[in-house]
Structure 1
Amino acid sequence: MAFRDFSEPVLSRRALFRSSAYVAAGGALATLPFGRALLAHDVSSNWPNIAAAVEEYVSSGKVANMVAAFGWQKQDPHTVARGETAFNSGVDAGLDTLYRIYSMTKPITGMAAMMLVDEGKLGLDQPLADILPAYSNMMVQKTYDGAITPDNLEPAKRPITIRQLLTHTAGLGYGIVQNGPIKTAYERAGLVPGQVSRLPIPGLGRGNPVESLEAFADGLAEFPLVYQPGTKWSYSVSLDLLGRVIEVVEKKPFDQVLKERLFDPCGMDSTYFRVPRSEIGRFTDNYGIMAGVPLPLDPARSSIYLDDPAFPFGGAGLVSSPRDYDRFLKMLLGFGVIDGKRVMGELAVRVGTSNLLPKTASLEGTWMEGQGFGAGGRVTGTAFGWGGAAGTAAFVDYGSGLRAGLFTQYMPSESYSIQREFPDIVLKDLQAMNGGNR
């Protein structure tokens, strides 16, 4: 998802996290000349600007809680944490609190695919149709988000590849992105790879999802692409479809593959597609922001995440804790090794966190313009990361040896600026640690 050229870092506000309803991505902290020197500092209490931001959001009632988790190289994480799992729950939020991480699931799925590439079971530029023959003769909309009638369709000019699935360049659509007839068609067909709440909330009626990952993949193949494969970066269901590729190649359910290949080896024992009822006590409530006021959207004790999902959503389906996600980041920062145990091959991590965008793909006019994209996450300089629909964000930076995550629960993520501003605030504290030098 070629080794990355670590010699050409980039640092700018545009290059740091950006946010949309479902997206945020990591920034290039590696350009800081003092990055490695910081490893000698006691950083456990050196995040005053992060602490001030977290305090402001919680004390003002914008969110019920907020946890920022940081780690250097192989060291254990430390946190800045305020608030309770829900307003007035009486349970403090911390490293082991459970959060809906939504699209932060994508880098996990991407790295699972990279393991198979590393083992020769998949090829980055292998046609998807080799694994899923239903994608052999795809049609494409001539006019983006236009009609899905024969007069607006043409044959795909090139095959969809694994690289394109990893980088949102396969031409697939997304119900949360499309606005044309295909959005309605997806919903009617149950091609809904995500969930928000059991509550009947206006504007969140997205249809009932099909009941298996196989049915999702087969159903998706019956609809046209919104772009010609390999021509445009467009946020999509490609990581969900990649889950089906993984389970076909591994000959076992996708969620089982993640547990056996990533979660168990990394010691991620609090990452779930379904939250066990025994863990409700540390599960957060999720809130919808209406006119600046947080209202219950998915209360923990009646959460839709207490039920088995229709299928494991590889693009947005996981619940995890700051501690667990930090272990995933720690493994990536160790180039596949965590606590002395190898989970992934070094090359798989190096390639997966590098810029994998096809040379034919345009980023003009997209969130990704001027940046790179790897195995399910943004690549900026020596940083790799992504964010989620409910305000979460996380990244690793290979130049500074830092891993960082932000955890809270509100939707949509653009209601507040904290997700977008998180790396800038981290950068400000890092500069202070270095005496204000850059």
Structure 2
Amino acid sequence: MQRYVDERKYPGSSVLVTRGGEEVYFNSCGLRSLEMNLPFERDTLVRIYSMTKPVTSVAVMMLAERGMFHLDAPVSSFIPGFAEMQALVPGADRIDQVEPSTSPTLHQLLTHTSGLSYPFNPGVLAQAMDEQDLMFKPNQGELAGMVDQVAKLPLAFQPGTRWEYSVGIDVLGRVVEVVSGKTLAQFFAEEIFEPLEMTETAFWVPEGAGDRFASLYTPLAGDAMALNASKSGGETLRLVDQAGRSPFESARMFSGGGGLVGTIDDYQRFAEMLRRGGEANGHRLLSPNTLNFMMRNHLPGDIASMGPQSFAEQPMEGMGFGLGGAVVLEPGRARVPGSVGDFSWGGMASTFFWLDRAKDLTVVFFTQLSPSSSYPSRSELKALIHGALIE
């Protein structure tokens, strides 16, 4: 971690490791703000971006456990804009080259097989999304309106035929709102964060946080999210977003795919709940059976076998995908030490977590550098952790 700081790869970072529910290691180093010379500390608040997705997936499964819907239900049953869908024809090079399509199911949205995409992916749909700036940023209005805009575009492919990282979990956040009658922020706060005592996690920087909110940096010359046009800027830590001027301080968009801000201890509580089979602090969010179901591979094979053309927060070979995160199928093919069944995901600012139920292990890593594809820190971290385990 210190080497990454010394080499000006990351401004600062922290890591928290627990085993059997007990903390065994914590370290932080570097700065949360280079400009203000403020240290990266245990109570530093960061943008967890796509590590929001497992939280939304838990919310979806909580409602499924209550019999509110089944996973093969079409999303059009909850969001009418998806009722008459079209998909791009194979090989399309224009957004109007389409054919009729079914509405994606909740399960396809959960597993990134829905045909939706992200603006930073390659392809015709991604380009159209980029032109319309469909990114679910904290200052882009309210969730319902953005989801309706996404529904007006065709799908990148027929649902279920491919894997492509997408805004599907954002769409599911809207489904949670429709079914529960609460905003996604309310549902998270009342049904997940309060029981888990995640007091400093929300879609906005908590009031009274002061200067604990970390600044975001990028090594790119342009947009820190523009993976299709990524160019080195020479400066490896160019400031993108900082406390006092951040849209995360007054967010109106509740992005279930990437909107949360929080501390490392808060996220560890969430990861531990997953490891413990849905329970923490005497509160049960999900049954162990549901958690086991979520952490199975829901694809026909590994991610690579489904012809992805997109960015992803994980390797694709030897990795399957469950509900809310990646699942290790074969560590050898993934080329990263680990256990079969490891469940993990990361965020665009290079944050990462995984849990290893075979070894009773959870690890959360926080930093603030976008994009997460800049350096191989995640595979290096897994190698370090597994190298330290002797039983």
Alignment RMSD, CA only? 2.2
Does 1:383 find its partner at 2:308? no
Q: What's the offset of the Cα at 1:194?
A: 3.1
Q: What's the offset of the Cα at 1:163?
A: 0.8
In the TM superposition, what are the counterparts of 1:144-293 in structure 2 within 5 Å?
146-149=93-96, 152-156=97-101, 158-180=102-124, 182-194=125-137, 209=140, 211-289=141-219, 290-291=233-234, 293=236
In the TM superposition, what are the counterparts of 1:72-111 in structure 2 within 5 Å?
72-76=19-23, 78-87=25-34, 89-111=36-58
Kindly provide the amino acid, as one letter, of the partner of residue 275 in structure 2: L
**Residue in 1 that maps onto 2:15:** 68
Kindly provide the amino acid, as one letter, of the partner of residue 152 in structure 2: E
Whether the aligned pair in 2 keeps the contact of 1:284 and 1:299 (CA below 8 Å) is yes
The alpha-carbon distance between structure 1 residues 422 and 365, as it changes in their structure 2 partners (threshold 3 A), is: farther
Distance 2:374 2:284 in 1: 40
Whether the aligned pair in 1 keeps the contact of 2:302 and 2:321 (CA below 8 Å) is no
Secondary structure at the counterpart of residue 154 of structure 1: strand
Distance 1:346 1:222 in 2: 38
Distance 2:7 2:162 in 1: 41
Kindly provide the amino acid, as one letter, of the partner of residue 330 in structure 1: E
In the TM superposition, what are the counterparts of 1:301-312 in structure 2 within 5 Å?
301-309=244-252, 311-312=253-254
TM-score by length of 2: 0.86
Q: How many residues align?
A: 361
Q: What's the offset of the Cα at 1:144?
A: 5.0
Whether the aligned pair in 2 keeps the contact of 1:115 and 1:345 (CA below 8 Å) is no
Distance 2:103 2:237 in 1: 45
TM-score by length of 1: 0.77
Does 1:329 find its partner at 2:271? yes
Secondary structure at the counterpart of residue 83 of structure 1: strand
The alpha-carbon distance between structure 1 residues 145 and 82, as it changes in their structure 2 partners (threshold 3 A), is: farther
Q: What's the offset of the Cα at 1:361?
A: 8.9
Q: What's the offset of the Cα at 1:274?
A: 1.0
Whether the aligned pair in 1 keeps the contact of 2:136 and 2:143 (CA below 8 Å) is no
In the TM superposition, what are the counterparts of 1:382-401 in structure 2 within 5 Å?
382-401=341-360
Distance 2:59 2:249 in 1: 25
Distance 2:301 2:350 in 1: 31
Deviations 1:84-110 (Å, cap 9, x if unpaired)? 322264543233211111111111111
Distance 1:361 1:372 in 2: 5
Whether the aligned pair in 2 keeps the contact of 1:266 and 1:343 (CA below 8 Å) is no
Whether the aligned pair in 2 keeps the contact of 1:386 and 1:394 (CA below 8 Å) is yes
Report the identity percentage: 34
Whether the aligned pair in 1 keeps the contact of 2:14 and 2:365 (CA below 8 Å) is yes
Kindly provide the amino acid, as one letter, of the partner of residue 376 in structure 1: G
Whether the aligned pair in 2 keeps the contact of 1:145 and 1:179 (CA below 8 Å) is no
The alpha-carbon distance between structure 1 residues 360 and 340, as it changes in their structure 2 partners (threshold 3 A), is: closer
Deviations 1:367-400 (Å, cap 9, x if unpaired)? 5343211112101122111001111100111111
Kindly provide the amino acid, as one letter, of the partner of residue 347 in structure 1: N
Kindly provide the amino acid, as one letter, of the partner of residue 229 in structure 1: P
Q: 2:285 aligns with which of 313, 331, 343?
A: 343
The alpha-carbon distance between structure 1 residues 144 and 128, as it changes in their structure 2 partners (threshold 3 A), is: farther
**Residue in 1 that maps onto 2:294:** 352
Kindly provide the amino acid, as one letter, of the partner of residue 304 in structure 1: P
**Residue in 2 that maps onto 1:408:** 367
- 5+ residue gaps, structure 1: 1-53, 196-207
Whether the aligned pair in 2 keeps the contact of 1:169 and 1:232 (CA below 8 Å) is yes
Distance 2:350 2:123 in 1: 23
Deviations 1:237-280 (Å, cap 9, x if unpaired)? 10000001111110111111111111111111111211135213
- 5+ residue gaps, structure 2: 220-232, 309-314, 329-339
Distance 1:391 1:191 in 2: 21
Distance 2:13 2:89 in 1: 44
Whether the aligned pair in 2 keeps the contact of 1:107 and 1:385 (CA below 8 Å) is no
Whether the aligned pair in 1 keeps the contact of 2:200 and 2:263 (CA below 8 Å) is yes
Whether the aligned pair in 1 keeps the contact of 2:163 and 2:307 (CA below 8 Å) is no
Distance 1:178 1:236 in 2: 12
Does 1:58 find its partner at 2:2? no
Q: What's the offset of the Cα at 1:424?
A: 1.8
Distance 1:375 1:272 in 2: 21
Deviations 1:52-92 (Å, cap 9, x if unpaired)? xx121123333221111111122246412112322264543
Bigger Rg, which one: 1
Deviations 1:136-173 (Å, cap 9, x if unpaired)? 22100003562122xx21111x4411110100001112
Secondary structure at the counterpart of residue 168 of structure 1: coil
| More deviation, 316-325/297-306 | 297-306
Distance 2:127 2:258 in 1: 20
Distance 2:55 2:122 in 1: 24
| More deviation, 405-414/127-136 | 127-136
Whether the aligned pair in 2 keeps the contact of 1:333 and 1:401 (CA below 8 Å) is yes
Whether the aligned pair in 1 keeps the contact of 2:197 and 2:266 (CA below 8 Å) is yes
Distance 2:321 2:302 in 1: 14
Kindly provide the amino acid, as one letter, of the partner of residue 99 in structure 2: E
